[in-house]
Amino acid sequence: MNTKEIELVPVHEGRALLGEGPIWVAASGLIYTVDIEGKKVDVYDPATGETRIISVGFRVGAVVPREQGGLVIAGEDGLYALDPETGSLEAMAKPTNEPNGNRFNDGKCDPKGRFWVGTMSMTENPKQGTLYRLDLDGQLHSIVSGVTISNGLAWNAAGDTFYYIDTPTNEIMAYDYDAETGELSHARLVTRFSSEEGSPDGMTIDAEDKLWVAHWGGWRVSRIDPATGERMTVIPLPAQNVTSCVFAGEDLMDLYITTARTGLSEDQLAEQPHAGGLFRIRPGVRGTSTIAYRG
């Protein structure tokens, strides 16, 4: 295992209460992240170093680009089209059987452009969440129920395997994936985090089909071989709660990493002044592109 401490740049500091779900929109060269508890989407422009804030007025768990233009966000109670220029919102889909006190959390598009996004109880009641799939016709389907904190999602390059994290299980799971029907089968364990590693949160996948997983409570991002569970690379971060990551840049070799301030005491915040920041490193591996919703 090799440990990388190269070029770890906090690109916008201390802005996010709960920074999450970074995406790279190649056409505009922008990085979007959500700040779930800050009820906003942050738009970072690597060319200028500036961050623009889009306030949405409710908790936002995930953002994805939309092929026809604009963005899709997962709000507290449903999915919305967001115009990033005007901030205007349009309801797209709402689940019908969500328990009170649930909200949407992490989400991502599959290789066919369907939007997968899960829910969780805001008080973290066990097994109250569901992983949904928004098809290209706008219909929302319940896929995995009994989830506690629905988090990281990734598909391999062949499009036949789906990786998924329900954070409190401390496990990364794999499923067989039928890209034509969008169905999952044959759930199996990839790896389980030790208590020293924290809990797995968001993740992305590189061009060599290796997972890059954010460690909530674990001060790091790890590159993990899903075939063996091996931790191939560890990137230490100066923030305890690391939430997600994405590859970006023209060469897809910049890794952007989100972190959180929420839940840290005054003393912890004093020790982690960069907590909540967005970080960038070049780990020397090419990533995969952020996929847009095609509905």
Asked whether position 166 contacts Zn ion by CB under 5 A, the answer is: no
Binding footprint of Zn ion, residue count (CB under 5 A): 4
Do 132 and 180 contact (CB within 8 A), yes or no?
Answer: no
Distance in Å, CB of 180 to Zn ion, minimum: 28
Give the span between the Cα atoms of 170 and 201, in whole angstroms. 9
Tokens in use for 114?
């369907």
Distance in Å, CB of 59 to Zn ion, minimum: 12
Can you spell out the DSSP letters for 36-70? TTTTEEEEEETTTTEEEEEE-SS---EEEEBTTSS
Distance in Å, CB of 25 to Zn ion, minimum: 20
169-208: contacts with Zn ion (CB under 5 A): 201-202
Give the span between the Cα atoms of 20 and 271, in whole angstroms. 21
Going residue by residue from 132 to 151, which x/- string records binding to Zn ion, judged by CB under 5 A?
-------------------x
Do 173 and 187 contact (CB within 8 A), yes or no?
Answer: yes
Q: Considering beta carbons, is residue 42 or 201 the nearer one to Zn ion?
A: 201
Do 150 and 105 contact (CB within 8 A), yes or no?
Answer: yes
Going residue by residue from 84 to 113, which x/- string records binding to Zn ion, judged by CB under 5 A?
----------------------x-------
Give the span between the Cα atoms of 63 and 48, in whole angstroms. 22
Q: Considering beta carbons, is residue 163 or 295 the nearer one to Zn ion?
A: 163
Q: Considering beta carbons, is residue 202 or 276 the nearer one to Zn ion?
A: 202
Give the interface with Zn ion as residue ranges (CB under 5 A).
106, 151, 201-202
